[in-house]
Amino acid sequence: MKKNEIISIIFKTIAIISSMAGILLSFYSPTGYMVRFRTFLYFTIDSNFFMALILLVELILIIIEKHKNVFLRNDTFLAFKHMFTLAMVVTPLTFYLMVLFALISPSWGDKAGVIHLMLIPSNWTVHLIAPLFSILDYVLFDRLAPKNKRRAIKFVSLVYPFMYCVGTIILSLNGVIFSHDGKIVPYFFLDYETYGYPMMFLFWIIFGIVLYYLNDLLFLLKRKQEEV
């Protein structure tokens, strides 16, 4: 087995362990904010779960490929992995931007509480370690998608976030509560009660555009890596 393949397996394993550890820590959290099955109502947790599942499947495929001398990770598999890698880009990006906003905002009083929140293992496992190694594994070791398929992959990558948003609204309208303090939705861009449906859909459009072009960043990093 080549050195790059070994490093890739290590990265995948770290991402899987970190994701599952973070999910379990959140599941059994003593704070009660995001606890038990309520944990799986959050985009971060779902993204980590599906990314870990894809990486686990990939490890199994690698073993089969080595044993039978075949290639099983086709363009369809690559598109699915790209979709959840994008979700893992969004996860730390949004979390740490919100943390930064809280730290620099004069109206946010509890700065120490924000820092404490960052240092909780259930947070840095799913918001930092798992995303970091998932993204590195994709950028450094996956093959670049064919140029004629990249636009389709960019649109496919929006399916999961869109399904999450729609599913969350359906659950909320059917009385599901997302936290111990009675939140009807987990994120502000889904808050149809506070902002109304027109503004909520505007949020979705803006985030959709941002996500669409974040794909280009992933493709650019892949191209730069292949040029090295």
What tokens appear for 78 in the block?
């690559």
Tell whether 228 is covered by a domain.
no
Tell whether 227 is covered by a domain.
no
Residues composing the chain: 228
pTM attached to this predicted model:
0.88
Q: Which domain holds residue 66?
A: 3-222
Tell whether 65 is covered by a domain.
yes
Tell whether 130 is covered by a domain.
yes
> What's the rounded Cα separation, in Å, for the pair 25 and 166?
27
Tell whether 27 is covered by a domain.
yes
Q: What is the DSSP string of 41-69?
A: GSHHHHHHHHHHHHHHHHHHHHHHHHHHT
Q: What is the pLDDT of residue 36?
A: 64
Tell whether 127 is covered by a domain.
yes
Q: What is the pLDDT of residue 107?
A: 65
Collect contacts of 15-20 with beta carbons under 8 A, ≥24 apart.
15/51, 15/52, 15/55, 15/129, 15/130, 15/133, 15/134, 15/137, 16/52, 16/55, 16/56, 18/125, 18/126, 18/129, 18/130, 18/133, 19/48, 19/49, 19/51, 19/52, 19/125, 19/126, 19/130, 20/52
Sign of CA dihedral 181, 203, 210, 101: negative
Q: Which amino acid is at 129?
A: I
Say how many C-beta atoms besides its own lie within 10 A of residue 132's C-beta.
16
156 to 48, 51, 127, 197: CA distances (angstroms): 18, 16, 23, 24
117, 118, 123, 125: CA torsion to nearest 10: -150
Q: What is the pLDDT of residue 30?
A: 64
> What's the rounded Cα separation, in Å, for the pair 180 and 128?
25
Q: What is the pLDDT of residue 147?
A: 84
Q: What tens-digit pLDDT sequence spans the chain (228 residues)?
A: 788 889 999 999 999 999 999 999 888 776 555 556 778 889 999 999 999 999 999 999 999 988 888 888 888 899 999 999 999 999 988 888 878 877 777 766 677 777 777 788 888 999 999 999 999 999 999 888 888 888 899 999 999 999 999 999 999 999 888 877 778 888 888 999 989 999 999 999 999 999 999 999 888 888 777 665
Q: Are 33 and 179 in contact (CB under 8 A)?
A: yes
Sign of CA dihedral 19, 23, 39, 57: positive
Domains held by the chain: number: 1
Q: Are 42 and 186 in contact (CB under 8 A)?
A: yes
Backbone phi and psi for residue 175, each to the nearest 5 degrees, phi listed first: 95, 5
